[in-house]
Chain A
């Protein structure tokens, strides 16, 4: 069955708007994805007819809001293959999820002389929380190498896994290059050595069906806003046994069992990690986004995106002076590139003038850029609402860019 992208585009009202007088060509979904009408409506409907605080009301409206919120937890668990909804902690975004693990698991389990292993392709969100933890605890960060094509040097990574390694944190998909990492192979190596694993899934979840049980990771973090849901709701998946053993992250209401001035006992996971009133409406919106994606089918989305990626890779290769950065065989639909003689920032501005939204910069991965010897790249990720016509517009605009700077 063919993929009816024209009909899908109609689900996203913003895709019918214009930027600088031209039809918006949105090629920045890796930074944040656009929202289908059903998500916008779900939030509006929730505020219009169902809103109350959760987990505390004795009245029907609150009980109903609680049920809706908790139903999303169940749907998220099913969506990513988590065996138990209690393994789903709602947070603001992937960054907060990783910080939660660093603060809670990290403070309890990682001490002086212990090692945390990362890779050279990580987003700052999967570097800085570990750096902060390492500084607090006197632990050490070790960084696995990558190859020039942007693939992970798995043997370098394996060589770093030692008796002091307490945690291995790595991206499912590189945000800057699109590289798809061999997660199962890596988690198997870690498991064999009793090392806990955290996968930064911010760029993994939007592009393919994710099954955390099959991936074999202990933690998996992602943001709802990159998954076509609203900003403000993200997810930390954690194996139940780990979550149950972890101390709280933030203290406050909703995360307690009993409070007295002598001491407090904490609620079980996941409530233990959800102090205070959460972004309830955004969680509802995330549920609507997941329903929408499941309606299309993540497998079909992946197939369509891969065909777009192949087309875009071919077309961009024809642009003189253009070099793709990140050419892994296994990659998600992310195109990162540089153009000879034109700084990525200038590419971004010329494309802006053509109604094309891309990202130019270091993509919050400065150590990766340094490793690749580049100050910045231009990045055009592809989502399932993008089209071959848009790729043609991108290529034409890049030709204009070259002409302007010739």
Chain B
């Protein structure tokens, strides 16, 4: 179970059971759906961007696996108060953490609690689960008005 504990860290299991900001956001300024065609995970991402260009609130609803749900939950906490540019930069860092080649120790700098997803890189098929909410957030902020897909 060691590899699995590395993947399903306590923080992930806990956020899966009790996802934060798991609600529809009234007065959202941005909204997008995310869908992972591989496993049927689907979520809706809501965000409110204030006049100062920062995300004051982010929330999500939907159904999915533990990885996608916990990732969405932790993301909503992580991006609060950040600018869109900062969010995009964090997504890039997060993606790099998940896809670092074996043998390399990826940096989790600036990612805070999101570092718990580093175990995902041993399970490449699960990268899409961990990034679904991020893809949806990106789509919402770019206001493309379409369903974000992981592939």
Contacts and interface: CB of A to CB of B under 8 A. Distances in A.
A37 B64 CA distance: 40
Given A346-B66, A349-B126, A361-B39, 12 more contacts: A343-B39, A343-B64, A344-B65, A345-B67, A349-B7, A349-B123, A350-B8, A353-B1, A353-B4, A362-B39, A362-B40, A405-B13
Contacts of B40: 361-362, 366, 369, 375-376
A404 interface: yes
B87 interface: no
B123 A360 contact: no
B107 interface: no
Please list the 10 inter-chain residue pairs (A to B) with the smallest Cβ-Cβ separation, ordered nearest first. A343-B65, A345-B65, A375-B40, A345-B39, A353-B4, A376-B40, A346-B66, A346-B65, A361-B39, A362-B40
A111 B25 CA distance: 49
A400 interface: yes
Interface string A344-368: 1110011011000000111000100
Contacts of B39: 343-345, 360-362, 375-376
A20 interface: yes
B11 interface: no
A375 B63 CA distance: 8
Nearest to A347: B65
B129 interface: yes
A360 B68 CA distance: 15
Interface in A358-389: 360-362, 366, 369, 375-376
A400 B67 contact: no
Nearest to A350: B4
A349 B68 CA distance: 13
Interface residues of A, number: 20
B77 interface: no
A346 to B, nearest CB: 5
B75 interface: no
Interface string B1-27: 101100110000100100000000000
Interface in B16-70: 16, 38-42, 63-67
25 contacts: A20-B3, A342-B66, A343-B41, A343-B63, A345-B39, A345-B65, A345-B129, A346-B8, A346-B67, A350-B8, A353-B4, A360-B39, A366-B40, A369-B40, A375-B40, A375-B41, A375-B63, A376-B39, A376-B40, A400-B1, A404-B1, A404-B4, A404-B8, A404-B13, A405-B13
A374 to B, nearest CB: 9
Nearest to A376: B40
A343 B66 contact: yes
B129 to A, nearest CB: 7
A343 B1 CA distance: 18
A375 B42 contact: yes
A344 B38 CA distance: 12
Contacts of A366: 40
Contacts of A376: 39-40
Contacts of A343: 39, 41, 63-66
